[in-house]
Amino acid sequence: MLNIAVLVSGGGTNLQSIIDGIKSGFLKDVNIKFVISDREGAYGIERAEKAGIETLVLDRKIYKKELSAKIFEQLQNKVDFIVLAGYLSIVAEPLISEFKDRIINIHPSLIPSFCGKGMYGLKVHEAAINYGVKFSGCTVHFVDENTDTGAIILQKVVEVKNDDTPEKLQKRILKEEHEALPLAIKLLSEGKVVVENRKVIIKE
């Protein structure tokens, strides 16, 4: 059984995709042990409570630079993996080293495009449209000491249409996110993900 903690900041639709994956049997050997939010009032916490999952709010306005240390205190020796699902705070030490290759994130672009500091939410899709790319998508990747620079596990591609707005593009990419994140977790739970330097190999 793969015990995970899911970190959220907002509505938690990616969290819901994991909950639904467990309920449907797609994620057979996965258990969400904790859902942690870095802000009060995140609807992701309500989703977790409805599903009977233990929740915790560690407000980033209160803990500031100590936030990652507080999360580590809660999760040490209790979970195997940490999943960032719309989590907007920067993950820092000691989480990075103590959970090396055991933290994954989903980002709403094809990394390395439109990622890094300040690139989140609609800003990502606005940048993609303004640049004129023909394709965007989402990326599930490991988390390292920098922002959106960890090894890529998998990506889903979405066409950018001529009449797209950031909201329209976001909606279509979000649909792919809801498939990509549970799939990545499934592959991890089945021991099919191997990391060699920057390359992630998915075993058959």
The model's pLDDT over 78-114, given as tens digits with 9 standing for 90+, comes to 999 999 999 999 999 999 999 999 999 999 999 999 9
Structure tokens, 190:
């089945």
What pLDDT, on the 0 to 100 scale, is given for residue 115?
97
Q: Is it true that 1-99 and 106-204 share their CATH fold? A: yes
Is there a catalytic annotation at residue 141? no
Per-residue pLDDT at 204 exceeds 90 = no
Q: For 25-165, where are the alpha helices, taking DSSP H only?
A: 43-50, 60-63, 67-75, 95-98, 122-131
Structure tokens, 46:
């309500």
Per-residue pLDDT at 184 exceeds 90 = yes
Confidence (pTM): 0.95
What DSSP assignment string belongs to 125-166?
HHHHHHHT-SEEEEEEEE--SSTT-SPEEEEEEEEPPTT--H
For the chain, give every domain's residue range. 1-99, 106-204
What pLDDT, on the 0 to 100 scale, is given for residue 182?
98
Superfamily assignment of 106-204 in CATH? Formyl transferase, N-terminal domain (3.40.50.170)
Nearest-angstrom CA–CA distance, 81 and 180:
16
CB 117 within 8 A of CB 52: no
SS3 state of residue 200: strand
**Cis amide bond preceding 182, omega within 30:** no
Per-residue pLDDT at 200 exceeds 90 = yes
The class of domain 1-99 in CATH terms is alpha beta
Out of 107, 125, 141, 178, which one is annotated catalytic? 107
CB 37 within 8 A of CB 67: no
